[in-house]
Structure 1
Amino acid sequence: MVPENAYLPSLKTLFFFRVRFSGCEFEALLSACPVLEELTLLGCPWYARQCLTISCTTLERLTLSCKGAIAYSLPWSFSFDTPRLAYLNYHGYIGDEYPIVNLHSLVEAKLSLEYRGSPNEGNPMNLIEGLRNVEVLDLSSLGTSKLLSSFAELIPLFGKLSRVSIATEFQHSCTSWKFLPLLLKKSPNLKTLVIKVYESS
C-alpha cells in the first residue's frame, strides 16, 4: 500500500518485479516521483479489467514486460502519457485498447507483442500511431509481425525512422513480408533494414 503522503523528490529509477497494485496506487506512486527518469515493470499482475496508466512528464526510459503474468490478470487497457520518453521496451500481450498514447519524443522502440486471445480482443491502433516519431524500431517477435500485418493499411508515416529490425521464424516468414512493402513505403528516411529469420524449434 502506498502511503497517502508518499513523496520521493530525488528518485530517478523505479524497478518492480511481480508487484501487484490495487486501485490508483500505481498512479499515486508515479505522481510522488517528480524527477523519475526510468521505470521498469516486470511480470506485475493486475486485477481483472484494471486500466494501467503510465503518466509521467519526466520519464525517459520505460521497460514494460507482461510476460510472466497470467494473461487474464493483465490490464484491460494501457495509456502512455509520457511526452519525454525516448526509449520503450514493451514485451507481452496487446491491450484491448490504448486510450492515451503520448510518445512524441520516442527515439527507440522494441516491441515483442502478441494477442491475448483472438485478434478481435485487441485494438492497438493508437499504439501503432503513437510510434510515428521513432527513429529505431525493433519488432522482435513473430506476434508483432502478425500484428502489423493485420493493420498494415493503417501504418502511419514514419518520417524519422532510420533503422528497423524484423525477427521471424522461417516457416512463417511470409507473415512479415505482407506488411514490409508498406512499411518501407511509409519510411522515406530508412537507412538500415535488418531481417532475422530463425529456424522453427
Structure 2
Amino acid sequence: MERGLLELHLHAVSFLFIERELFTSKTLVKLTLSTGYDFEAERVFLPALKSLYLLIDSGIDYDNHCRLLDGCPALEELFIRDADHDCPPCCGSVVKSASIKRLVVLVNLPNKRDSHDYAYFEAPSLVYLDYSSYVYETYQIVGLDSLVEARLSLKIWDYYDYNYDYEYDDESGDYYFSSSDDEGRSYCYSYVDDERKEPIFGDVTNLVAGITNITTLHLAPDSLEAFYFCCESMPVFNKLLNLFIESNKDKGWQGMPLLLKSCPILHTLVFKGLVHRVTNKCGDACACIPKKEKRENEKKNRKIVEKQLSCLWTCQVKVLEISKYDGSFQELKQMGHLLGKLGCLESVKVGVHADNNTEFLQANLLALPRLSSKCNNIQFS
C-alpha cells in the first residue's frame, strides 16, 4: 500500500479483519471484495476510489457496509452481488451514496423471503441502474432524478401453490378470479376448491415511481409480472423513449398494457423474443388472448367474462425491433397484431435465426398488413 497501489482484488474464505491501511489508502482507484464470510473495517477513507465491487457470498453486516460507502466520497461505480448465502440481504438492500453514477445490484436469496422487508436507495448522481432481485415488501427511493437508464429483473416469490392469477390461460383447465380484502390486499380464489390463497408478497410501487425520469428501460421476463401483481399504480414515464422487453414462454405479459399506456412519447420498442405465457390479462398488447368463453359453474353459478384492454391504438412507437424471431405461428400472429395496430410505425427490424428458412419467414412477414402508411419496409438481419 505504501507504493501507491491503484487496484486490488481481495478474496477471503473465512472471517477476516482487514488492516486499517487498506481502507485508508489515498491512491486506490478500484477495489474488489469477494468474501465467503464476514469482514470488518474499523475506519474507511478511500478518497480516490472510483470503482467498488462487493461480491458477498455470506454477508457483510449493515454497519460495515454503510461505513464502507460513506468512506468513498469519489465513488462512481458500485457493483453488489448479495447472493447464495444463508444470511439476510444487506449490501443489496441499502445503497446510499451522493457520488455513484452507475449501480449494479444482484440479490438472489430465494430462501429469505421474510428478510426482504425493506430496501432503500438514495443516489442523486445516479445515471444507470441495473437491479435484479426478488421483490421486497416495500421500497424507499430517494433522489434518483438524474437516472437515465434502468434495467430491472424483478422476480415474484415462488412460495405460492397457485399460478399467480394465470386465470383462463391456455395451459390450465382451472379458472381463477381475484378479490381484495378491506385492507386492499389481493387474493386469488380457485373454482376448484374456492380456497383463499396467500397474498402475493412484495410491493414495487415506490421503486417504479422512483425511476420515472429515465429515457431507456430494459425489463427481464419476470418484471412484467411483478409490475402487474406487485405494483399498486403505474406512474407515467413522461421521458421514456426506448423500451426493451425480454420474453420467456413461462412468463406472461400482464403488465404490458398499462405500461405502454404510461409511456406517452415512446419512440422505440424492442422485443427480445415474442413467445410468452398466454393469459387473459395481456389485453390489446397480445394477439394470443384466449377466445372468449362463458362457462357457468353449476355449483357456484359463476361466469368468466373476458375484459380486453386497449394499449396499442394510441401508442406513439415509430421503431419496432424484434430479435430471436423463429417464425412460429404464435410469433407471426403477434407480428401481425403489432403491425396492424401501431399506427405511427416508420421502421421495423427483425432478427431471424440463421438456421431458419429466412426467405420463407421474410415472405410471411412482408405479406402482413400494416396500419401505418409510413411503414414501407421491414429490415431483416
Bin the TM-score by the shorter chain: 0.7 to 0.9
Which residue type is aligned with residue 48 of structure 1?
A: P
Matched, 1:135 2:215: yes
Please give the alpha-carbon distance, in whole angstroms, between the structure 2 residues aligned to 1:41 and 1:171: 28
The alpha carbon displacement at 1:70 in A equals: 4.7
> How far, CA to CA, are the matches of 1:161 and 1:46 in structure 2?
38
1:29 aligns with 2:36: no
Asked if 1 retains the 8 angstrom alpha-carbon contact of 2:144 and 2:210, the reply is yes
Give the Cα–Cα distance (whole angstroms) in 2 for the partners of residues 26 and 192 of structure 1. 39
Counterpart in 1 of 2:370? none
Alignment of 1:46-195 (within 5 A): 47-48=87-88, 52-67=93-108, 69-72=109-112, 75-116=116-157, 117=159, 120-141=200-221, 143-150=222-229, 154-170=233-249, 172=251, 175-176=252-253, 178-195=254-271
What amino acid is the match of 2:73? P
CA change 1:40–1:171 in 2 (3 A) is closer
Q: Which amino acid aligns with 2:224?
A: S
Alpha-carbon offset, residue 186 of structure 1? 1.6
Give the structure with higher Rg (CA).
2
CA distance in 1, matches of 2:44, 2:219: 38
Any conservation in 2 of the 1:21–1:46 contact (CA below 8 Å)? no
Larger RCO, structures 1/2 (Cα 8 Å, 6+ apart): 1
Residue 48 (structure 1) shift:
3.4
Q: Distance in 2 between matches of 1:165 and 1:96?
A: 26
1:191 Cα deviation from its structure 2 partner: 0.4
Q: Equivalent residue of 1:120, what SS?
A: coil
Q: CA RMSD in A?
A: 2.5
CA distance in 1, matches of 2:144, 2:107: 20
What is the distance in 1 between the residues matched to 2:231 and 2:117? 24
Amino acid at match of 1:110: R
**Which digits, 9 at most, give the CA deviation of each residue in 1:75-115, with x for residues without a partner?**
43211001111111111211121133431111111111112
Percent identical among aligned pairs is 31
Moved over 6 A (4+): none
Q: Which moved more, 1:5-14 or 1:37-46?
A: 37-46
Provide the rounded CA distance (Å) in 1 between the counterparts of 2:249 and 2:275.
5
SS where residue 158 of structure 1 aligns? coil
Cα deviation, 1:163-183, whole Å, max 9, x if unaligned, reads 0011222464xx31x332322
1:151 positional shift: 5.2
1:127-147 Cα deviation digits (max 9, x unpaired) = 011111111000022x21111
> 1:49 Cα shift?
7.5
Decide which structure has greater helix share: 1
TM score, norm. by length of structure 2: 0.47
Partner of 1:10, secondary structure, is coil
Q: 1:24 to 1:46 in 2, by over 3 A?
A: farther
Q: How big is the shift at 1:3?
A: 2.5
